[in-house]
Amino acid sequence: MSLLDRIRDCADYDSRAYVPFIVGDLQVGQIGRDYVGILERFSTVFDISDAQVTFVEGLADFHARTAAIASVLDILREEGRVPGWRDEPYPAGPAFNAPALFEMERAAVPIFGVRGYGVHLNGWNGKGNEAKMWIARRSLTKPTGPGKLDQMVGGGQPAGLSLRDNLVKECQEEAGMPEQIARQAKAVGTVSYCTVQDEGLRHDVLFNFDLRVPEDFRPVNEDGEVAEFMLWSIDDVMQRLRDTDDFKFNSALVIIDFLVRHGFLEADDPDYAAIVAGLHR
């Protein structure tokens, strides 16, 4: 096993198994062909052909689309076809900085192959060979990746919050971190991927932040989503990434990006170019 295996874990996707989800002339998602069959009965909401799924002609604005898809998802939820329901509205559009074309329940985002967004924080301290990173173990009650290893803080990007404000919120909820510390985090880039997971097609962009955590700070979870925190050496983090699949699939990418940016992964590594390219799909 290798770090490149973690990259490959996030590249399991075959476009032939999906039908484009189109709004107007813009693609906002991709729906698995089996799930398209489930949607065919909602003919007052979706116009379905072999080439695409779109909203019917009368659903022409944000509010109408949002209400219509909510009515569909309520029925599918009752039938057990939308697992992990969270009551969190997510914006759906062609790009992060484009106006949302509608909102939908977060748990349904991968079912419809809509691009999702999140914020992840690498909390670390020390220098050189003494560098250490805070690692979280996800609660066993989490709907995705229960018990998997994770960043110190990470969360999805909901509607109505800026990235920075969402990060501050997640830092408080997941790690008990005061706002004045959380706002010192530095935006350092993104990772992106398109891969099939149990919940559906994850076509995501993660906004990454680094924070040198004060030596005397100890994270304490406040929302029940983290089972424990561990402070590991960078060598231990790399070993666990290379030799196991213990990290949640996308959290592994965020840490690999950190290792590249901070020079812990040498350019002479035979997989270096493939790893760097694989962080952005």
* Three-class DSSP category at 13: coil
* Long-range CB contacts for residues 91-94, cutoff 8 Å, separation at least 24: 91/159, 92/23, 92/28, 92/29, 93/26, 93/28, 94/26, 94/27, 94/28
Please say which residue of 90, 108, 126 terminates a domain. Answer: 108
139 and 234 inside one domain: yes
160 and 263 inside one domain: yes
What is the predicted pLDDT for the residue at 175?
98
Task: Determine how β-strand 53-55 pairs with β-strand 18-23.
Answer: parallel
Calculate the alpha carbon distances from 130 to 14, 124, 235, 236 in Å. 42, 11, 10, 12
Q: Which structure tokens are listed for 34?
A: 């089996």
Q: Which structure tokens are listed for 119?
A: 């914020």
Contact 59, 28 (CB under 8 A): no
100 and 169 inside one domain: no
What is the predicted pLDDT for the residue at 143?
86
What is the predicted pLDDT for the residue at 129?
82
What is the predicted pLDDT for the residue at 278?
96
Q: In terms of residues, how long is the chain?
A: 281
| CATH number where 271 lies | 3.90.79.10
Amino acid 261 reads R
Please say which residue of 108, 125, 144 terminates a domain. Answer: 108
Domain extent, residue 84, equals 15-108
pTM of the model: 0.93
Write phi, then psi, for 80 (nearest 5 degrees): 80, 20
97 and 230 inside one domain: no
29 and 7 inside one domain: no
Please say which residue of 57, 91, 108 terminates a domain. Answer: 108
Each residue's pLDDT, cut to its tens digit, for the chain (281 residues) gives 789 999 999 998 899 999 999 999 999 999 999 999 999 999 999 999 999 999 999 999 999 999 999 999 999 999 999 998 999 899 999 999 899 999 999 999 999 999 999 999 999 999 888 999 999 999 999 888 999 999 999 999 988 899 999 999 999 999 999 999 999 999 999 999 999 999 999 999 999 999 999 999 999 999 999 999 999 999 999 999 999 999 999 999 999 999 999 999 999 999 999 999 999 98
102 and 24 inside one domain: yes
Q: Which structure tokens are listed for 141?
A: 């009650």
